[in-house]
Structure 1
Amino acid sequence: MKAHEIYNAIDPALVTQMLDWFREHDKNVYRSALSSLAQSRKLRLVFVQKKPLVDQYAWILKTLKSKQSDTIGEHLLQVWLMAGNQEMLANFCDAMEIEHDGKGSVTGDLPESMDSAALDNAVDQLVGDFDPKLVTLYLQVFNLQRPGGWDALSKKLEEDERLVLA
Structure 2
Amino acid sequence: MTAHELFQNVNPSLVQDMFQWMRETDRNLYKTALGSLASNRKLRPQFVQKKSIADQITWMHNTLRLKSSDMIAEHLLQVYFMKGQEEMLASFCDGLGIEHDGKGQVEGNLPETLDAEKLKAAIDTLLEKFDTGLVALYLHTFNLQTPDGWSALADALENDERLKLA
Q: For this structure pair, what is the TM-score category when the shorter chain's length is used for normalisation?
A: over 0.9
- TM-score relative to the length of structure 1: 0.98
- What is the TM-score with the length of structure 2 in the denominator? 0.98
What corresponds to 1:22 in structure 2?
22
3-state SS in 2 of match to 1:162: helix
Please give the residue correspondences for 1:1-80 in structure 2 after superposition, counting only pairs within 5 Å.
1-80=1-80
CA apart distance, 1:71: 1.1
The one-letter amino acid of 2:65's match is K
* Partner residue, 1:120: 120
- The one-letter amino acid paired with 1:100 is H
**How much has 1:164 moved relative to structure 2?**
1.6
Tell me how far apart the structure 1 counterparts of residues 39 and 21 of structure 2 sit (CA, whole Å): 23
Q: Which runs of 5+ in 2 are unaligned?
A: none
Unaligned runs of 5+ in 1: none
Q: Deviations over 1:11-69 (max 9, x none)?
A: 00000000000000111111011111111111111110001111111110110000111
Deviations 1:60-104 (A, max 9, x none): 011000011111111111111011110110000000000100000
- Could you tell me how far 1:116 is from its partner in structure 2? 0.7
CA distance in 1, matches of 2:18, 2:45: 20
Segments of 4+ moved more than 2 angstroms: none
Length, aligned pairs only: 166
Report % sequence identity.
56
